[in-house]
Amino acid sequence: MATTDVVPRESAGGPGHKRIVNDMSIQVATVNGSGSQSSNTVLLRSIFQMGVPVSGKNMFPSNIAGLPTWYTIRANKNGYIGRKKEIDFLVAMNPETAQEDTMSLAPGAAVLYDEPLALHKLRDDLIFYSVPYDQLVAAVCPEAKLRKLVKNMVYVGVVASLLTIDMVEVEKAIRKQFANKVKAANLNLAAAQAGFDYGKANLQKRGAFYIERMNATAGKIIIDGNAAAALGCMFAGCTVVTWYPITPSSSLVETMIEYMKEYRIGPDGKATFAIVQAEDELAAIGMVIGAGWAGARSMTATAGPGISLMSEFAGLAYYVEVPGVIWDIQRVGPSTGLPTRTSQGDILSTAFLSHGDTKNIMLFPCSVTECFSMAPEAFNLAEQFQTLVFVMSDLDLGMNNWMSDPFEYPTTPINRGKVLSKEDLDRLGGFARYKDVDGDGIGYRTLPGTIHPAAAYFARGSGHNERAQYSERADDFENNMERLNRKFETARSFVPRPEITKGSNAKIGIIGYGTSHWGITESRDQLRDEYSIETDYLRLRAYPFTREVHEFVEQHDRIYLVEQNRDAQMLTLLKLDLKPELTTRLRSIAHITGLPLDARSITDELTSMEGK
């Protein structure tokens, strides 16, 4: 890599002037609905195109237009793409929050602001740059009503000039953003150029932060987790999608509709899928279950409140043994909570979703790559185990842009599970739906429409025996529940195994899952570099927990379970699974701000618990 860390550079800014290359976080504070999303994407892509690892996180209000919104871009040469706690460069576009945003910065940060805001009067330990946006935008945009939107593109140019982002890349990003709208692209480009020229001519660079070309993004893609999941589900052979709009899951199905319309239409112009917007989440999961029972690969996507509503149906699917895939893009609860903020708060309620002894399989994607690859896994597991599989994503993963290697085409074949055909029935003469023929707890099923006199069975949420007949007998009930438990135990060996990263002779183990992964990875480096603390790390990828999880706990003196909820939900779930003497090794690092978990918070908490 062509970069060096914090090297004093004598020529620029005199002795002591630091030069920090490709390691910064930029926060853009704007007003919701002002069109800043395009500008932010262009800025993100420009840095990405310079070859610098980058991530973008949108912190937005539950509102259509008018409330404050923040977008944070993190560029990091080491490839850390989790949230960084400190802001290095603030673009203050929102008069309402400008003062507070400025006051919250650490000394030495830079602030780029709209001239009339006069933020430079607030503090003397920051670097201020002011820009007369209205004058600049008036010059390039004759149409007054477009100025509000174009104004945001001006800051992209100014930022490019101050951080040495190549305008060639800005232009390329603008052209991509406005792919089919040449006029809009030209207008935005003019605005960005005006900003760039203004910065060059009028602003004297004083900050330490620079973007320089490197080569860490070649061949990579940028995508959000919901779009990745949508693609994954399309390649998983999903045929029925039923849903009810809820933030932050809606874009998963909306993106899927677009992909399916493009790539899943047969030669006769007919669809190989059905996507139905239901009247509520109860109906959405009811349809998933009806479709799964009748043989489709069916799914829905939702968030916490939807999961709560689906509770009764989840128990039905568990007990009747119907496949289906539920994407939970977790947001902050309880109740309506913070609908546009991220959390890992649905773990415990989903594990046991529904009354009675219900247990559900969960998968935990941590990246856009896993949103894609876990989709076919989820559908295979659902059909193999004839049960619901919950894929526990979150808002940070689902709605934010992530850099990734391109996805690999799924190589695992589609597994439709134990389904008896007419020919099977001819050979067998009949079947008992809930009989454990193979000793794995999984019975054989038939699909409605199988033309054979012995094909039908009676699916019911009430007590039933092996032949699916109504039964209130104690032995029938007990046998069936024990078999369901056997099935869940079988699943332990089939769900995705955890990912384990070893330090050197570490006594401390960290367990994490989902998007907490990004903070954990960076924190482990901080722990090693700053505190000489070696850690091993196990990233959970599924519930039920596999053998490796138990072994990992056994191998370490202390285990820190890092997660994004208040009540240490995964830790609690793991406690239920562990030998009692091992549970005392577990310690919780739980984070509930609604913001993506950052490395520094983990490092601080872990070192404090370690007495450092």
Partner 1 sequence: MATTPTVVPGAAGPKTNRIGLTVMDYKGGKTTLCAGCGHNAISERIIESMYEMGVQPELLIKPSGIGCSSKTPAYFMNRSHSFNAVHGRMPSVATGALLANHKLICIGVSGDGDTASIGVGQFVHLMRRNLPIIYIIEDNGVYGLTKGQFSATADLGSKLKTGVVNDLPPIDTCALAIQLGATLVGRSFSGDKRQLSAMLKAAIAHKGTVMLDVVSPCVTFNDHEGSTKSYKYVKEHEETLQDVSFVPHFEDIDVEYDPGTTVEVTMHDGSRLHLRKLEEDYDPTDKIRAITRLTEAHDKGEVLTGVFYVNPEAPNFIDMLNVVDQPLATLPDSMTRPGKQVLDAVMEELR
| Interface with partner 1 in residues 214-233 (CB under 8 A) | 219-223, 231
Enumerate residues 6+ apart whose C-beta is below 8 A from 575.
583, 586
- Out of 141, 366, 455, 573, which residue is the one contacting partner 1 (CB under 8 A)? 455
User: Using CB under 8 A as the criterion, what x/- string covers residues 318-347 for binding partner 1?
Assistant: --x---------------------------
Q: Which is nearer to partner 1, 224 or 605 (CB)?
A: 224
- At closest approach, how far in Å is the CB of 285 from partner 1? 8
- Out of 26, 136, 165, 234, which residue is the one contacting partner 1 (CB under 8 A)? 234
Q: Which is nearer to partner 1, 128 or 235 (CB)?
A: 235
With CB under 8 A as the contact rule, which of the stretches 155-163, 275-283, 510-518, 586-594 interacts with partner 1? 275-283
Closest Cα to residue 375, out of 306, 303, 326?
326
Q: Which is nearer to partner 1, 174 or 236 (CB)?
A: 236
142 binds partner 1 (CB under 8 A): no
Q: Which is nearer to partner 1, 291 or 510 (CB)?
A: 291
- At closest approach, how far in Å is the CB of 433 from partner 1? 11
131: exposed, middle or buried (Cβ count in 10 Å: 0-12, 13-18, 19+): buried
158 binds partner 1 (CB under 8 A): no
| Interface with partner 1 in residues 394-413 (CB under 8 A) | 406-407, 409-410, 413
Scan for tokens 């052209």, then name that residue.
Answer: 175
465 binds partner 1 (CB under 8 A): no
Q: Which is nearer to partner 1, 8 or 448 (CB)?
A: 448
d(CA 58, CA 71): 4
- At closest approach, how far in Å is the CB of 464 from partner 1? 10
With CB under 8 A as the contact rule, which of the stretches 16-24, 104-112, 187-195, 312-320 interacts with partner 1? 312-320
The residue count for binding partner 1 (CB under 8 A) is 73
Tell me the CA end-to-end span of the chain in Å, nearest whole number.
Answer: 33
Is the peptide bond prior to 544 cis by the omega test (within 30 degrees of 0)? yes
423 binds partner 1 (CB under 8 A): no
The three-state secondary structure class of 591 is coil
Q: Which is nearer to partner 1, 59 or 314 (CB)?
A: 314
Q: Which is nearer to partner 1, 334 or 406 (CB)?
A: 406
Q: Which is nearer to partner 1, 323 or 333 (CB)?
A: 323
310: tokens are 């689906």
The three-state secondary structure class of 573 is helix
10: exposed, middle or buried (Cβ count in 10 Å: 0-12, 13-18, 19+): exposed
- DSSP secondary structure letter of residue 598: B
| Interface with partner 1 in residues 39-68 (CB under 8 A) | none
- Out of 104, 462, 485, 493, which residue is the one contacting partner 1 (CB under 8 A)? 462
356 binds partner 1 (CB under 8 A): no
Enumerate residues 6+ apart whose C-beta is below 8 A from 516.
344, 366, 562, 563, 564, 591, 597
d(CA 153, CA 528): 41
492: tokens are 């332990």
Find residue 538's DSSP bridge partners.
Answer: 500, 511
Q: Which is nearer to partner 1, 405 or 482 (CB)?
A: 405
472 binds partner 1 (CB under 8 A): no
- At closest approach, how far in Å is the CB of 275 from partner 1? 8
Per the CB < 8 A criterion, the answer to whether 577 and 550 are in contact is yes
Enumerate residues 6+ apart whose C-beta is below 8 A from 9.
17, 18, 19
| Separation in Å, CA 329 to CA 191, 493, 512 | 36, 26, 17
